[in-house]
C-alpha cells in the first residue's frame, strides 16, 4: 500500500513556533511567509519563508491585537492591521527610520476586511464598501490614494501570481467582481456569477469564502468553486466547478470535476493538477483538466487515479529532553487544524509546520491501467522522464508486456511530443535568425552615425 501513495508532504518543511494563547500565527500568501507574533509583537515577531536564510526577527510596540500582518515584496515595508479603520506601516529599508506611520481607509464608516501588497510600495485596502489602491512613500512616511472603487463586499480573495483580487458582492455573495493590478494601475475585470445549487428565499449570504479558490493551471487563471451536495436526487455528490478568468473578456464556466462523494473538502494545485482533499475519508483525489474523458460530457472530469491518502509523515521530536533513540511522532494527516493555501501549501498552526504538497509519479504507473492515458498524464508532469522510461521498459520487456496496439499508442504519443518539440525549436531558430539578421542590417545601416558619435 505504501507504494500507492502518489501524494506526499515535502521533507524540509518550514518550522515555526506553534499557535498558543501567547503566540498568534499568520500566513502571507504573496511572500509565502509565516508570522509568529508573540504578545502583540511586544515580545517578538519571527517571520519564516520558504528559504530560512530570509528569516526575520524583530519587536513591535504592543498597540493592540494584530488582525493581519504582511511584508511588501522584498521585505521592504511591513503593514500591520490592528483596527477595522486603519493600517500601520513600518519601514524595513536600511536608510529609512523604522518609525511607524498609519493610513485610515478613506470611505466613511467602512471597515477594513484586509489588505494585499501588489508591489513593494503599492497596497490595496479591501473594505466592506469597496477597495482603495495606495502608493506608500517610506522616505516621506506618507501614503497616496491612487484609485478607489465603491462596491459592497462580503469577502475577498487574492491571487499573488496574477495580482488579481476577487470580491464577493450582492446579498447572496455569488456575484464575483475581479480587479487586476499592474505597475500602479487598477483595472476592473468582467464580473461573473457563480451558479448556486439552491437559491435561498429570502436571500442570504450563500457563497462562502471557504468554497472559492483562485489558482493558475496550465498558465491560465481559474476560479475554483466547491459546489456541495444540494440534498436533491439529481445531484447526490459534490463537484468542483472551474471558471476560466481571462485578463480581458468574460469569465466562463469551463470544467466540472466530479468528486463522487460529499463532506468537507480542500483544494491544492500541484504540477498543474487539481488536488481535492476529503477530510472524513482522509484521502485525496487528483484531476488533470487536459485529460479528455471519452464517456463524459464536454469538460466533465473524473479523478485520474483512485482516492489515496497522503503518504504518512513523521514529525521528529526536538528539545533538550529528547532521547536520541526515541522515534518520531506520526503526524495526524487531514487534521481539522490544517489550513490549505494556494497553490500547494498545507499549514498546521498547532504543530508549527508549513509543508509543500508534492506528487510522486512512480506509483501512478501501476494505478493507471490505460497506458495511453498514463502517457498523456505523465508527459505533462515535471521530472517525468525516468517514469516514462519505466513504462516503456514495462511494456517491452517487463513481466507485464503490452500488446502491439498498446506499444504503438505509447510510442505514438512520445513521437508526437518529440515532433512538437522539434517544430517549436525550428520556429525559435527561424525567429532568432530573423532577429539577428534584422539587427545586423539595422546596425550596419547606421554605422556611420555610430562612428561619428563615438569620435573622441
Check pLDDT > 60 for residue 453.
no
Peptide bond into 127 cis (omega under 30): no
**Mean confidence (pLDDT) of the chain:** 85
Q: 444: part of which helix (H) or strand (E)?
A: helix 404-445
Residue 349 lies in a domain: no
Nearest to 346 by CA among 335, 338, 337: 338
Domain count, the chain: 1
Q: Quick one: pLDDT at residue 321?
A: 47
Q: Among all chains, which residue has been given the C-alpha cell 487586476?
A: 180
User: What is the per-residue pLDDT for 21?
Assistant: 87
Q: Does residue 231 form part of some domain?
A: no
Q: Is the pLDDT of residue 75 over 70?
A: yes
**Cα–Cα–Cα angle for 6, 12, 13, rounded to 5 degrees:** 90
pLDDT band at 404 (very low <50, low <70, confident <90, very high): confident
pLDDT at 341 over 90: yes
- Across the range 179-188, mean pLDDT stands at 94
Q: Is the pLDDT of residue 254 over 50?
A: yes
User: Cα dihedral angle (376, 270, 115, 192), rounded to 10 degrees?
Assistant: 30
Distance from C-alpha of 265 to C-alpha of 121, rounded to nearest angstrom: 36
- What's residue 79's pLDDT? 96
The answer to whether residues 300 and 258 touch, using CB atoms and an 8 Å cutoff, is yes
pLDDT band at 431 (very low <50, low <70, confident <90, very high): low
Distance from the first to the final alpha carbon of the chain: 77
Residue 232 has pLDDT above 50, yes or no: yes
DSSP readout, 392-443? Answer: HHHHHHSTTPPPHHHHHHHHHHHHHHHHHHHHHHHHHHHHHHHHHHHHHHHH
Model pLDDT, residue 297? 61
| Grid cell of 249 as nine digits | 473578456
Query: 221 in a domain, yes or no?
Result: no
In the predicted model, is pLDDT for residue 53 greater than 50?
yes
Per-residue pLDDT band for 97 (boundaries 50, 70, 90) equals confident
Gap between the Cα atoms of 83 and 346, Å rounded = 28
Looking at the domain assignment, is residue 391 inside a domain?
A: yes
Distance between CA atoms of 287 and 307, rounded to whole angstroms? 11
pTM of the prediction? 0.85
What confidence category does residue 373 fall into, taking pLDDT thresholds of 50, 70 and 90?
confident
Question: What are the start-end ranges of the H helices in 283-402?
Answer: 364-367, 371-378, 385-397
Greater model confidence, 372 or 164: 164
Q: Hey, CA dihedral for 371, 373, 374, 376, is it positive or negative?
A: positive
The secondary element (H helix, E strand) that includes residue 106 is none
Tell me: pLDDT of 442 over 60: no
Choice among 87-101, 334-348, 395-409 with the minimum mean pLDDT: 395-409
Q: Is residue 389 part of a domain?
A: yes
* C-alpha cell read off for 1: 500500500
Query: What was the pLDDT predicted at 436?
Result: 60
Assess if residue 428 is contained within a domain: yes
Asked which of 164-168, 255-259, 378-382 is least confident by mean pLDDT, the reply is 378-382
Is residue 407 in a domain?
yes
Q: Are 58 and 50 in contact (CB under 8 A)?
A: no
Q: For residue 125, give the nearest of 105, 142, 110 by alpha carbon.
A: 105
**pLDDT attached to residue 244:** 95
pLDDT at position 215 is 95
Residue 200 counted as domain residue: no
Which of these ranges, 114-123, 215-224, 311-320, 441-450, has the smallest mean pLDDT?
A: 441-450
* Per-residue pLDDT band at 236 (split at 50, 70, 90): confident
Q: Which domain holds residue 383?
A: 367-432
State the average pLDDT over residues 441-450.
39
Tell me which DSSP letter residue 176 carries.
Answer: E
pLDDT at residue 115, as a whole number: 97
**pLDDT surpassing 70 at residue 31:** yes
pLDDT, tens digit, 9 for 90 and up, residues 260-309: 999 999 999 999 999 999 999 999 999 999 987 666 666 899 999 999 99
Amino acid at each position: 500500500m505504501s507504494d500507492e501513495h502518489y501524494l506526499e508532504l515535502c521533507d524540509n518543511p518550514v518550522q515555526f513556533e506553534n499557535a498558543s494563547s501567547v503566540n498568534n500565527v499568520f500566513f502571507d500568501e504573496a511572500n509565502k511567509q509565516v508570522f509568529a507574533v508573540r504578545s502583540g509583537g511586544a515580545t517578538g515577531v519571527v517571520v519564516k519563508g520558504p528559504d530560512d536564510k530570509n528569516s526575520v526577527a524583530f519587536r513591535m510596540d504592543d498597540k493592540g491585537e494584530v488582525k493581519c500582518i504582511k511584508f511588501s515584496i522584498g521585505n521592504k515595508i511591513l503593514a500591520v492591521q490592528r483596527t477595522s479603520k486603519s493600517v500601520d506601516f513600518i519601514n524595513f529599508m536600511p536608510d529609512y527610520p523604522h518609525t511607524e506611520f498609519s493610513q485610515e481607509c478613506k470611505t466613511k464608516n467602512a471597515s477594513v476586511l484586509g489588505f494585499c501588497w501588489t508591489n513593494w510600495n503599492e497596497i490595496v485596502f479591501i473594505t466592506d464598501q469597496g477597495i482603495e489602491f495606495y502608493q506608500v512613500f517610506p522616505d516621506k512616511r506618507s501614503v497616496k490614494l491612487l484609485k478607489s472603487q465603491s462596491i459592497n463586499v462580503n469577502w475577498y480573495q487574492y491571487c499573488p501570481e496574477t495580482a488579481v483580487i476577487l470580491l464577493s458582492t450582492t446579498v447572496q455573495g455569488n456575484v464575483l467582481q475581479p480587479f487586476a493590478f499592474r505597475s500602479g494601475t487598477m483595472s476592473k475585470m468582467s464580473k461573473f456569477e457563480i451558479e448556486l445549487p439552491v437559491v435561498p428565499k429570502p436571500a442570504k449570504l450563500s457563497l462562502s469564502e471557504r468554497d472559492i479558490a483562485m489558482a493558475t493551471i496550465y498558465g491560465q487563471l481559474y476560479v475554483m468553486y466547491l459546489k456541495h451536495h444540494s440534498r436533491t436526487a439529481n445531484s447526490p455528490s459534490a463537484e468542483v466547478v472551474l471558471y476560466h478568468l481571462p485578463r480581458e473578456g468574460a469569465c466562463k464556466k469551463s470544467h466540472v470535476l466530479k468528486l463522487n462523494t460529499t463532506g468537507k473538502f480542500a483544494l491544492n494545485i500541484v504540477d498543474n493538477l487539481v488536488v481535492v482533499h476529503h477530510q472524513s475519508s482522509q484521502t485525496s483525489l487528483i484531476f488533470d483538466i487536459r485529460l479528455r474523458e471519452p464517456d463524459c460530457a464536454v469538460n466533465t472530469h473524473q479523478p485520474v487515479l483512485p482516492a489515496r491518502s497522503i503518504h504518512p509523515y513523521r514529525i521528529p521530536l526536538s528539545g533538550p529532553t529528547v532521547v536520541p533513540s526515541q522515534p518520531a511522532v506520526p503526524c495526524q494527516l487531514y487534521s481539522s487544524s490544517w489550513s490549505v493555501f494556494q497553490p500547494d501549501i498545507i499549514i498546521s498552526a498547532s504543530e508549527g509546520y508549513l509543508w509543500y504538497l508534492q506528487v510522486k509519479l512512480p506509483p501512478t504507473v501501476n494505478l493507471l491501467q490505460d497506458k495511453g492515458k498514463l502517457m498523456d498524464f505523465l508527459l505533462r508532469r515535471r521530472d517525468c522522464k525516468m517514469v516514462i522510461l519505466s513504462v516503456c521498459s514495462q511494456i517491452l520487456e517487463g513481466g507485464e508486456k503490452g500488446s502491439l496496439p498498446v506499444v504503438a499508442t505509447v510510442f505514438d504519443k512520445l513521437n508526437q511530443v518529440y515532433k512538437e518539440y522539434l517544430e517549436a525549436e525550428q520556429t525559435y531558430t527561424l525567429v532568432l535568425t530573423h532577429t539577428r539578421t534584422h539587427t545586423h542590417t539595422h546596425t550596419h545601416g547606421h554605422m556611420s552615425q555610430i562612428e561619428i558619435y563615438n569620435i573622441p
